[in-house]
């Protein structure tokens, strides 16, 4: 049995902070509506920064903290649905930016808000016959680029940012995963390519119902795989940060103790594939992640896709 061990994480958020208050001057909304329905108070939007800039900063920080060099990295995966270009992939540009070796396996994955965990699973598999021991997985999104600022149903929810993790394949580590796909073009869709500007459309209520269903189901499956009878046997749960109400609903259904589920959407909004690695990095940086901790993480979103993992820190 082998599993990926996260050696270190990094993150980069654009400098510009946009509060609900500021948005309410451009959009027919209010801080009260957005916070009470989502738990979001502010998010970051790129001004000058590209997705590659965010990815490179997060990746460099993770590599520095892990104490790895380009000679250690055999796989580089960027999870994104908002790349700077349809081609080249952000991962290819990151190879050049970081000076990764030319034989590093570099590509993007698009599994929307579940993308980081799809990347982690793929990187772990690819490391089995990689000449180098480590993989870099980055979730990087510039969602402000595909936002319709006249659609108050979606434009108040999302933010930009990147989170990164350096992982190594290790024997005898705990690692259970669940993945799911439910092809559906009506619940969440980003229009394009075409003459009209790309824009996210979302049926919020349908996605909310989907989210609470698959997050609860995934956590139950991961607990069963590990032989645990209660969610409170876990040390931490880190879900995709779409909406505090989704997390609170699932936490209540599962009888979770107060504070078991991490939340940071108040400051970051929904950063899609970047939300889980950004959250992990905040937790690591603030000393809340200790070796041996048993963590569950679950992503869900467009596709529809979902993914969950139970791992040891
Ligand atoms: O990352 C991918 C995964 N995404 C998600 O998981 C998102 C899941 N969905 C959600 O988080 C929630 O459904 C939303 C936050 C998107 C919406 O919350 P809701 O409680 O489902 O609100 P709603 O869409 O039912 O809208 C309720 C009311 C409507 O007015 P009426 O028809 O009741 O008069 C909306 O027009 O709120 C109105 N509304 C707003 N009002 C002020 C919708 N957006 C806004 C807004 N400001 N920004």
pLDDT tens digit sequence for 47-61: 999 999 999 999 999
Does residue 197 register a pLDDT over 80? no
What does the pLDDT read at residue 265? 98
Protein residue with its CA nearest to atom 39 in ligand 1: 153
Q: Is 210 in the pocket of ligand 1 (CB under 6 A)?
A: no
Q: What is the average pLDDT score of the chain?
A: 96
- pLDDT above 70 covers a percentage of the chain that reads 99
List, for residues 80-121, the tens digit of each pLDDT value: 999 999 999 999 999 999 999 999 999 999 999 999 999 999
The atom number, within ligand 1, closest to the CA of 155 reads 48
For residue 167, name the pLDDT band (cuts at 50, 70, 90). Answer: very high
270 a catalytic residue: yes
Any atom of ligand 1 within 6 Å of the Cβ of 275: no
pLDDT for res 191: 82
Q: Which of 46, 106, 240, 243 is flagged as catalytic?
A: 240
Instruction: Exactly one of 113, 134, 239, 268 is catalytic; name it.
Output: 113
pTM of the model: 0.97
Residues in the chain: 313
Per-residue pLDDT at 196 exceeds 90: no
> What are the pLDDT digits (tens) for 8-28?
999 999 999 999 999 999 999
> With bands split at pLDDT 50, 70 and 90, how would you rate the model's confidence at 1?
confident
* Position 164 pLDDT exceeds 90: yes
Using the atom order of ligand 1, give the atom closest to the CA of residue 205. 13
Report pLDDT for 259: 96
Q: How confident is the model at residue 139 (pLDDT cuts 50, 70, 90)?
A: very high
At 260-276, the pLDDT tens digits run: 999 999 999 999 999 99
Percent of the chain's residues with pLDDT above 90: 96
Any ligand 1 atom below 6 A from CB of 248: no
Task: Identify the residue with better confidence: 172 or 74.
Answer: 74
């Amino acid at each position: 049995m082998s599993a990926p061990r996260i050696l270190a994480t990094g993150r980069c958020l654009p400098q510009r902070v946009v509060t609900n208050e500021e948005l309410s001057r451009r959009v027919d909304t209010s801080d009260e509506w957005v916070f009470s329905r989502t738990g979001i108070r502010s998010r970051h939007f790129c001004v000058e920064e590209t997705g590659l800039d965010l990815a490179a900063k997060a990746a460099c920080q993770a590599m520095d903290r892990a104490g790895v060099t380009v000679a250690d990295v055999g796989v580089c995966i960027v999870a994104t649905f908002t790349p700077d270009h349809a081609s080249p992939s952000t991962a290819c540009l990151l190879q050049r930016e970081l000076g990764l070796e030319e034989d590093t396996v570099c590509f993007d994955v698009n599994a929307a808000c579940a993308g980081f965990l799809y990347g982690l699973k793929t990187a772990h598999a690819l490391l089995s016959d990689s000449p180098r021991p480590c993989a870099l997985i980055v979730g990087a999104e510039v969602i402000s680029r595909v936002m319709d600022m006249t659609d108050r149903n979606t434009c108040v929810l999302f933010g930009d940012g990147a989170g990164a993790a350096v992982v190594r394949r290790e024997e005898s580590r705990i690692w259970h995963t669940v993945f799911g796909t439910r092809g559906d073009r009506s619940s969440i869709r980003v229009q394009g390519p075409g003459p009209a500007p790309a824009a996210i459309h979302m049926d919020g209520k349908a996605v909310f119902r989907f989210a609470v269903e698959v997050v609860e189901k995934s956590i139950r499956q991961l607990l069963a795989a590990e032989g645990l009878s209660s969610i409170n046997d876990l040390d931490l749960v880190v879900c995709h940060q779409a909406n505090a109400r989704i997390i609170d609903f699932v936490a209540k259904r599962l009888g979770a103790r107060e504070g078991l589920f991490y939340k940071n959407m108040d400051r970051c909004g929904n950063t899609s594939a970047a939300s889980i690695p950004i959250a992990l990095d905040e937790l690591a940086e603030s000393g809340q992640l200790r070796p041996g901790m048993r963590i569950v993480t679950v992503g869900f979103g467009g596709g529809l896709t979902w993914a969950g993992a139970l791992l040891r820190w």
